[in-house]
Amino acid sequence: MPTPTALPLPSVRFTGGLWHDRIQLIREVTLPRQWQALNDAIPDAPPSRAVRNLRIAAGCEDGEHYGLCFQDSDLAKWTEAASYRIALAPNEAMARALDEVVALYVAAQDDDGYLHTYTQLRAPDQRWTNLRDLHELYCAGHLIEAAVAHHEATGSRDLLEVGIKFADLLVRTFGYGEGQLRAYPGHPEVELALVRLAAATGDGRYLDLAEFFVRTRGSEEPKYFAEEAERRGEAEPPIYVHGDDQAYWQAHRPPPDQAEPRGHAVRAMYLYAAMADLARERGDAGLAASCRRLWDDMVARHLYIIGGVGSDGPGGEKFSAPYDLPDDRSYAETCAAIGLVFWARRMLDLELDARYTEVLERALYNNVLAGISLDGCHYFYVNPLATQPRETHRRYDCRMVKTQRVPWFGCACCPPNVARLLGSLGQYAVSRTERGLALHLFAALSIKWEGWTLRLETDYPWSGSVEIKVESAPTGVSELAWRASGPTQGASWTLNGAALDATPTQGYLRVAREWQTGDVLAAELPLPVQRMRAHPSLTAAAGRVALQRGPLVYAVEEIDHGPELSSLGVTRSAALEATVPADAPWAGVVTIGGEAVREAAGSELYHADKLAERETTTLRAVPYAWWGNRGEGEMRIWIRDYES
Amino acid sequence: MPTPTALPLPSVRFTGGLWHDRIQLIREVTLPRQWQALNDAIPDAPPSRAVRNLRIAAGCEDGEHYGLCFQDSDLAKWTEAASYRIALAPNEAMARALDEVVALYVAAQDDDGYLHTYTQLRAPDQRWTNLRDLHELYCAGHLIEAAVAHHEATGSRDLLEVGIKFADLLVRTFGYGEGQLRAYPGHPEVELALVRLAAATGDGRYLDLAEFFVRTRGSEEPKYFAEEAERRGEAEPPIYVHGDDQAYWQAHRPPPDQAEPRGHAVRAMYLYAAMADLARERGDAGLAASCRRLWDDMVARHLYIIGGVGSDGPGGEKFSAPYDLPDDRSYAETCAAIGLVFWARRMLDLELDARYTEVLERALYNNVLAGISLDGCHYFYVNPLATQPRETHRRYDCRMVKTQRVPWFGCACCPPNVARLLGSLGQYAVSRTERGLALHLFAALSIKWEGWTLRLETDYPWSGSVEIKVESAPTGVSELAWRASGPTQGASWTLNGAALDATPTQGYLRVAREWQTGDVLAAELPLPVQRMRAHPSLTAAAGRVALQRGPLVYAVEEIDHGPELSSLGVTRSAALEATVPADAPWAGVVTIGGEAVREAAGSELYHADKLAERETTTLRAVPYAWWGNRGEGEMRIWIRDYES
């Protein structure tokens, strides 16, 4: 039976600094505002109608279903996020909103457990006839995750019972038995939910069903989605599947045999995360090896420097060819980076190795954080690594790229996904190990769990000073593990002032001892400004560098440098300095300064045997996730790497 | 009345070298093969059915119309090209094929002159109800051009009468009079044809109608295409119009008020060419200024280095924002470069200025020539400036880019357009001026016209030696003008062995004297290998150079350098040599050699504070137009410009 490695949500609390402030913002601004959005109460934003759809299905209101086939999931993700919020800090308004939603879910659920307002209101007789496109199981998954979160937050079983009833319907509907569907969802998600429900209920049937969905996927010819489409009388696959055929849904071959991340990026991340869950739960070394192989290929050939994936946006939000990571039409969907964090966290459960943590951190501090504005109520769905508004507005293949964050989307999967990830971030900061605790993220936080009271003090990523204070520890020998790779590499750790004699294992320092109240681990992480360069096949980065400090990737913006950023860069000898300048755009946010260089524009488009004149200017690079919070303008991460 | 500045086709003959050989190939291979294609006789090529459609409309065969609404124009362009062929060199098979086509045109034409098989066979009652999309006037234009060419080649009036009858119908149908349509075509072309028909027939009504189409375009609110769409009950404009609204059809404002090239690139080129025709015919200085303004903006901000235009392919084959000239998803449609040659030639008629010739030559030697294979029967529609097949095949927004030339297209506008341009190339090489002749292209050719017999001897662009021999000249003073700009700049010209005392005017040397039999003008054009660099806002070229020699832009190919060309480049000190190596891929074709540099691929996608190792290799750059003739592989024009 699944044994969660995350600590219960209230056991880990951010006490200050970046994540603390962002989580506060999610609580106080984002979640109430999203509730308004879901209730269609934000002027000038596309309507959601997610609550209204549920009210209609519940019989509380007349009307027709509005929106996409996965509109329900926006509300479910919000329900999950709001549950985290009240788990950490009770709040009456939020609790009332949750009660209202739970009551609607209860009322909207069909007698046999089915709940998908799109199908219920539009074509109730067509359940499970289009698993490829219609997201019934995806919505089921999000509802079940919300149900578990709500139960854990409130103790109430009301929504959990809805989730269980739906899951039981799934157990009856899908399987190898007679009359059952040997099928799998077009968009993985229910697998993750079923693993979680199995852990919450102790009912192994849900884990079996999760495994069934993973194992049957793409495993039989003809492929289920092709068979199903033929039954519906469909001639052509959707146009975005272009050339990818079943790979769009990761159904081109059985998941254990997949070696390269393919297809729709969010679906891929959710599937691979589920594979990691199963590899661990079943102790399946073969499946674990498949996960590692997919992971390594993603990191070596498919990962944006911001920790994002999916670079073929117009082609259906999917993975492109290896090294095809363009910056101006990058997709790097916020949800895909969130999915990557889910997967990374589960790989860490499989094996404590900092290579997963590094990517988790990269995704979190850059791609995920860029997905939400500093005011907490505007969002990016697509996260470009470079924008030039005049091109972005004109080009058809950039039509999904927004140059400024918006209050909501017609397809609003990302906003509540950010809320639920950041709302449960403590579960990504720390995990239970066989012999103690592992600390993954450096942030100011306090941990109280089974005899442990730990306090981390740091304002990482802004500076590198870290202290881990043991305020209490379980009796006997136990192990504390913490990251010593990536930005946290090269630090000299002390224990109670004396040099610590330990070498990292798979990027983690692991110290087993009888921990005492008053023990202090301390280090100064160096956090230099780094010039990152890319593999020569990554064309968008050729002859360019990206600036990085700690986990933060930096970008330059038009507001600081004027327009035409394409030639802006730094020479190799230029001194680059991490600094909070007097006129810093945001208090406490470290920028990178120094001398920048750009080419002067002549009037000619092409010129022969002549070098462009260069101008010098002052560099002010800002953390990528902060870009676009000061009006519309150009932005770019990969800047010119002038040799001299 | 229009007075053509081109000499009659038989007056200018290529006598050897590149153009001679290509025109031979067009004659002997391309045109017969295209006739097969138009008759659906090429296995594994998409069917054309253009002849069959006409046979059905002519009542010779039963069946339904097949293909696009402009399918007729493929056959009309071929008819024009085949007419040029027999004008230059009689050929029985070709003459028979032409007779067959002409008889079909005569039979297919409606009694009132209408001829558009798409409408005739599909919806004969819906003539002129969708000028925006249905290409009736575009097809009319190509038919009329073919009619004029056929008449000039054969003396027969059979097809000319078809053209006149159709043009007369247009004169009755369109105009400001009562019951007439105040409308204009979605795709300009008929304007060019009407100017040509006016010159051929001396009938000024056709010129008036051409002017009417140009003047009414986008000049009234509501726009005609919007009104017309409303009459058809259409709610939405076609999706590719994305954000461009009427600009897609250059109907956003009256053409004289347009300042930036916008919309569908081929349409834009044909419209601007027609504007230049009218500016000249009407002596309209305002319209001429508009043409110059559009030209200058195109050259300064919208022109690919290969002389191509249109960089937003997925967005409807259209112009993008200024400087947005990506190389891997360039569109640079062959037809757009052909249209650019048409426009440039007409600008030269408006004013003899070598800035037009330079672009004409750039387009011709690079983008146009790349459109057809060395075997004369495979074509590019889209001309990328860089290809990486693994990306091109995978990316949805590159789905219109082919990595190898193909025998025919479902939308086959380009192949017969190449044939008609190259088949009439003599008309672009030389023009009649008020006081004599102007030579635009350096090529081995002989000119016989009104007392002149000139012989040009050169194997330009391979080497720079040029002789212009006067074998006879008209009596009295007359002027010879020839280009002295661009690749032909910096040459020391001699007249009969003595230094020529003349300075160029607008890039042309113009010498007025009593020319004598035996006069010889000679020069050695330097033709150095040039490193071309681009405006800093052209991102795809940032930190890169393109190699050029004479009019030829060069490219590197995988077959010569191995894969992963993204980091291949040259240092600034590397000596680059124009050479025909012993193992030259094509006899006589000059390649560029020297030492090339590339970055060694490590296994990491990103690395900090570390420079990539460099490897040296041997450069072999080939003329861009020759690329893709040796199997599939990577190609790129913009290579790395290593400072050291």
Amino acid in position B349: D
Residue in chain A closest to B548 (alpha carbons) equals A608
For residues A73 and A131, membership in a common domain is answered with yes
If pLDDT is split at 50, 70 and 90, which confidence band does A490 have?
A: confident
Regions of chain B where pLDDT drops below 50: none
A509/chain B closest Cα distance in angstroms: 22
Q: Are A536 and B611 in contact (CB under 8 A)?
A: no
Which of A309, A366, A537 to mutate to test binding with chain B, by most B CBs within 10 Å of its CB? A537
pLDDT of residue B467: 98
DSSP state of B551: T
Does a structural domain hold residue B158? yes
Task: Look at residues A430, A446, A473 and tell me which one is the last residue of a structural domain.
Answer: A430
Q: What is residue B399's predicted lDDT score, i.e. its pLDDT?
A: 87
Q: What's residue B242's pLDDT?
A: 63
CA B385 to chain A, closest CA, distance in angstroms equals: 14
Q: Is A486 on the interface with B (CB under 8 A)?
A: no
* Same-domain pairing of A24 and A125: yes
Give the pairing of strands A639-642 and A569-571: parallel
Tell whether A573 is covered by a domain: yes
Q: What value does the mean pLDDT take over residues A502-518? A: 96
Q: Kindly tell me the sign of the dihedral angle through the C-alpha atoms of B252, B257, B260, B261.
A: positive
| Whole-number pLDDT of residue A208 | 98
Specify whether the CB–CB gap between B159 and B79 falls below 8 A: yes
**CA-CA distance, A349 to A356, in Å (whole number)?**
10
CA dihedral over A62, A68, A71, A72, signed as positive or negative: positive
pLDDT tens-digit series, residues A284-333? 999 999 999 999 999 999 999 999 999 999 888 999 999 999 999 889 99
A585 & A482 share domain: no
SS (H, E, C) A324-366: CCCCCCCCCCHHHHHHHHHHHHHHHHHCCCHHHHHHHHHHHHH
> For residues A591 and A528, what is the distance between their CA atoms, to the nearest angstrom?
12
| ipTM (interface predicted TM) | 0.96
The answer to the question of residue A143 being in a domain is: yes
Which CATH number belongs to the domain containing residue A72 in this structure?
A: 1.50.10.10
CB A569 within 8 A of CB A641: yes
- pLDDT higher than threshold 80 for residue A529: yes
Given a contact cutoff of 8 angstroms between Cβ atoms, the answer to whether B18 and B364 are in contact is no
In sequence order, what are the beta bridge partners of B585?
none
From A132, A218, A202, A207, select the one nearest A171 (Cα to Cα).
Answer: A207
- Judge whether A498 is closer than 8 Å to chain B, CB to CB: no
Residue B321 lies in a domain: yes
Report how far residue A330's alpha carbon sits from residue A324's, in angstroms, rounded to the nearest whole number. Answer: 9
Contact B550, B487 (CB under 8 A): yes
Query: Does residue A40 sit in the same domain as residue A161?
Result: yes
Confidence (pLDDT) at B243: 60
Query: Under an 8 A CB cutoff, do B543 and A542 touch?
Result: yes
Same domain flag for A438 and A423: no
Query: Do residues A568 and A598 make contact, with C-beta atoms less than 8 angstroms apart?
Result: yes
Residue with structure tokens 């077959």? B559
Contacts with B611 from chain A: Cβ below 8 Å: 533
Same domain, B602 and B465: no
| Residues of chain A above pLDDT 70, percent | 99
Amino acid making up residue A384 = P
- Examine the fold and report which residue of B366, B398, B432 is the final residue of a domain before the chain moves on: B432
Same domain, A488 and A343: no
Which residue pairs from B461-464 have beta carbons closer than 8 angstroms and sit at least 24 positions apart in sequence? B461/B18, B461/B365, B461/B487, B461/B527, B461/B549, B461/B550, B461/B551, B461/B552, B461/B590, B462/B17, B462/B18, B462/B580, B462/B588, B462/B589, B462/B590, B463/B527, B463/B590, B464/B491, B464/B523, B464/B524, B464/B525, B464/B526, B464/B527, B464/B550
Using alpha carbons only, how large is chain A's radius of gyration in Å? 25
Contact flag A604-B300 (C-beta cutoff 8 Å): yes
Task: Please report the DSSP string for B81-131 in residue order.
Answer: HHHHHHHHS--HHHHHHHHHHHHHHHHHS-TTS---HHHHHH-GGGTTS-T
Give the distance, in angstroms, between the CA of residue A633 and the centroid of all CA atoms in the same chain: 26
B394/B380 Cα distance (integer angstroms): 19
| Closest listed residue to residue B447, CA positions, set B153, B2, B6 | B6
In a domain, B612, yes or no: yes
Q: Across residues A637-642, what is the average pLDDT?
A: 98
Q: How many domains does chain B have?
A: 4
Kindly determine whether residue A543 and residue B542, on different chains, have CB atoms separated by under 8 Å: yes
Q: Which of B392, B412, B432 is the C-terminal boundary of a domain?
A: B432
Taking alpha carbons only, the member of A345, A354, A350, A349 closest to residue A507 is A354
Q: How high does pLDDT run on average in chain A?
A: 96
Give the helix/strand (H/E) hosting B328: none
Contacts of A389 (CB under 8 A, 6+ apart): A403, A632, A633, A634
- Burial label for A286, CB within 10 Å (0-12, 13-18, 19+), is exposed
CATH of the domain at A488: 2.60.40.1180
Average of pLDDT values for A80-108?
97
Is residue A229 in a domain? Answer: yes
Chain B CB contacts of A600 below 8 Å = 536
Are A612 and B533 a contacting pair at CB < 8 A? yes
Joined tokens for residue A492: 């000299």
> What tokens does A67 get?
């929106």
Inter-chain residue contact A536 with B600, CB threshold 8 Å: yes
Query: Considering CB atoms only, which of A395, A531, A609 is closest to B324?
Result: A395
Min Cα distance B160 → chain A (Å) is: 42
Residue A241 has a pLDDT of 72
B600 inside 8 A of chain A by CB = yes
B297 shares its domain with B193:
no
Element (H, E) at A622: strand A614-623
Which residues of chain B are within 8 Å of residue A323 when distances are taken between CB atoms?
605
DSSP symbols for A21-45: HHHHHIIIIIHHHHHHHHTT-STTS
Position A378 scores a pLDDT of 98
Residue B593: CB atoms within 10 A of its CB come to 18
Tokens of B135: 């290409």
* Closest C-alpha among B81, B68, B69 to residue B29: B81
Tokens of B366: 């690079």
Q: Which of residues 228-247 of A touch B (CB under 8 A)?
A: 240, 242-244
List active site positions of A: 317, 413
Q: What's the gap in Å between the CA of A634 and the closest CA on chain B? A: 12
The 3-class secondary structure across A192-251, one letter per residue, is HHHHHHHHHHCCHHHHHHHHHHHHHCCCCCCCHHHHHHHHCCCCCCCHHHCCCHHHHHCC
A221 C-beta neighbours (distance < 10 Å), count: 8
The whole-number pLDDT of residue B521 equals 98
Number of helices and strands in chain A (H, E): 20, 22
What is residue A602's predicted lDDT score, i.e. its pLDDT?
Answer: 86
Distance from CA of B482 to the nearest CA of A (A): 22
Cis peptide before B222 (omega within 30 of 0): yes
The two tokens of residue B235 are 């709610």
Q: Do residues A188 and A123 both lie within one domain?
A: yes
Say if residue A244's pLDDT is above 60: no
Its sign, for the CA torsion A553, A559, A563, A569, is negative
Residue B13 lies in a domain: no
Chain B residues 541-580 with a CB less than 8 Å from chain A:
542-544, 546, 548, 564, 566-567
Is the pLDDT reported for residue A243 higher than 80?
A: no
**What is the per-residue pLDDT across A164-199, written as a single tens digit (0 to 9) for each?**
999 999 999 999 999 999 999 999 999 999 999 999
Answer for the pair A343, A599: CB distance below 8 angstroms, yes or no.
no
Contact in structure between B28 and B20 (CB atoms under 8 Å): no
User: In this predicted structure, what is the pLDDT of residue A242?
Assistant: 63
- Statement to judge: residues B189 and B127 lie in one domain: yes
Q: How confident is the model at residue A235 (pLDDT cuts 50, 70, 90)?
A: confident
Please give the residue range of the domain that contains residue B473: 433-524
Select the more confidently predicted residue: B609 or A366: A366
Long-range contact list for B12-16, CB < 8 A, 24+ apart?
Answer: B12/B426, B12/B427, B12/B429, B12/B430, B12/B445, B12/B446, B12/B447, B12/B449, B13/B88, B13/B426, B13/B445, B13/B446, B14/B425, B14/B426, B14/B429, B14/B443, B14/B444, B14/B445, B15/B444, B15/B445, B15/B446, B15/B455, B16/B444, B16/B459
Rounded to 5 degrees, what are φ and ψ at B25? -65, -40
Per-residue pLDDT reduced to its tens digit, A532-589: 999 999 999 999 999 999 999 999 999 999 999 999 999 999 999 999 999 999 999 9
**Domain membership flag for residue B278:** no
Residue A550, burial from CB neighbour count under 10 angstroms (0-12, 13-18, 19+): buried
How many other β-carbons are positioned within 10 Å of the β-carbon of residue B132? Answer: 26
Round the average pLDDT of chain B to a whole number and report it. 96
Say what the pLDDT of residue B244 is: 57
Assign A7 a pLDDT band (cuts: 50, 70, 90): very high
CA A206 to chain centre: 24
Residues A243 and A283 in one domain: yes
The answer to whether residues B533 and B511 belong to one domain is no
